[in-house]
């Protein structure tokens, strides 16, 4: 019916007519087109329902008006669908643009992370080298105490030799007797007195000498 109406309209939107009373041909069955038989029960009930006086019979003008109403309804529905599709397409374009921007941002972040990873790898290698150097220094410091003890013993021996060389022979003998020899236990030192000193000492049991010592 819509296609037929479109074919009946002219370029200026008016109906073509030959001046007759009816614009619809006699063999045009609008009722048959509008009442297409269907298999559903509701459709069969609608077809079998009694017609109202205002719905049947229809004149040619009423039929033309109904066709135009159907055409307008289909046109408005198509226009709404077209606008809906256009809005949907615009939304999709906006989403695509946002995704492109997100992809560019992710690429920049990936490049930044790659540079940071390269820097961290180089820093990790430098720290490993530094740790190796510190471990080597620690091993050297752990080995130094034994060498330091040996060098300190040698230094003590040298200083003792220098001191003995500077002392007189009597004091050298005294210091040698007082200091324990290497590898031997220390022995008690007993003073050695000369004969004149022994003559001056009092004999045992001499009380005046003890009193003099106590008084002094």
Cα 195 from Cα 192, distance rounded (Å): 10
pLDDT of residue 103: 94
pLDDT of residue 199: 54
pLDDT of residue 58: 79
Which run of H or E residues covers position 73? helix 60-166
Mean pLDDT of 209-216: 48
Percent of the chain with pLDDT over 90: 34
Between 44-58, 95-109, 150-164, 198-212, the lowest mean confidence (pLDDT) is in 198-212
Percent of the chain with pLDDT over 70: 41
Token pair, residue 20, equals 């007759």
What residues contact residue 17 under an 8 Å CB cut-off, 6+ apart?
Answer: 23
What residues contact residue 68 under an 8 Å CB cut-off, 6+ apart?
Answer: 5
Coil, strand or helix: which one is 9? Answer: strand
pLDDT at 3 over 90: no
Token pair, residue 96, equals 């695509």
pLDDT of residue 97: 94
Ranked by mean pLDDT, the top range of 11-15, 62-66, 96-100 is: 96-100
Mean of pLDDT over the chain: 69
Under 8 Å between Cβ of 71 and 7: no
Under 8 Å between Cβ of 189 and 196: no
Residue with tokens 């105490």: 145
Q: 172 — alpha (psi -120 to 50), left (phi > 0) or beta?
A: alpha
How far CA 6 is from CA of 57, 72, 90, in Å, comes to 24, 12, 32
pLDDT at 26 over 70: no
Token pair, residue 154, equals 């040698």
pLDDT at 14 over 50: no
The pLDDT tens digits for 163-175 are: 555 555 555 555 5
Between 5-9, 34-38, 82-86, 145-149, the lowest mean confidence (pLDDT) is in 5-9
Between 47-56, 101-110, 162-171, 201-210, the lowest mean confidence (pLDDT) is in 201-210
Cα 182 from Cα 146, distance rounded (Å): 19
């Amino acid at each position: 019916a819509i296609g037929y109406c479109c074919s009946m309209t002219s370029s200026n939107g008016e109906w073509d007519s030959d001046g007759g009373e009816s614009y619809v041909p006699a063999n045009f069955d609008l009722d048959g087109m509008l009442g297409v038989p269907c298999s559903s029960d509701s459709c069969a009930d609608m077809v079998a329902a009694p017609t109202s006086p205002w719905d049947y019979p229809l004149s040619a003008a009423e039929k033309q008006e109904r066709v135009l109403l159907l055409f307008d309804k289909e046109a408005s529905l198509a226009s709404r669908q077209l606008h809906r599709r256009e809005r949907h397409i615009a939304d999709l374009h906006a989403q695509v643009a946002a995704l492109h921007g997100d992809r560019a941002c992710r690429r920049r972040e990936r490049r930044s992370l790659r540079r940071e990873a390269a820097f961290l790898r180089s820093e990790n290698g430098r720290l490993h080298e530094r740790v190796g150097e510190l471990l080597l220094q620690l091993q050297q410091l752990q080995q130094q105490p034994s060498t330091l003890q040996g060098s300190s013993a040698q230094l003590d021996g040298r200083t003792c030799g220098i001191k003995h060389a500077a002392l007189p022979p009597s004091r050298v003998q005294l210091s040698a007797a007082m200091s324990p020899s290497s590898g031997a236990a220390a022995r008690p030192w007993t003073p050695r007195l000369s004969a004149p000193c022994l003559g001056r000492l009092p004999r045992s049991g001499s009380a005046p000498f003890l009193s003099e010592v106590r008084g002094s």
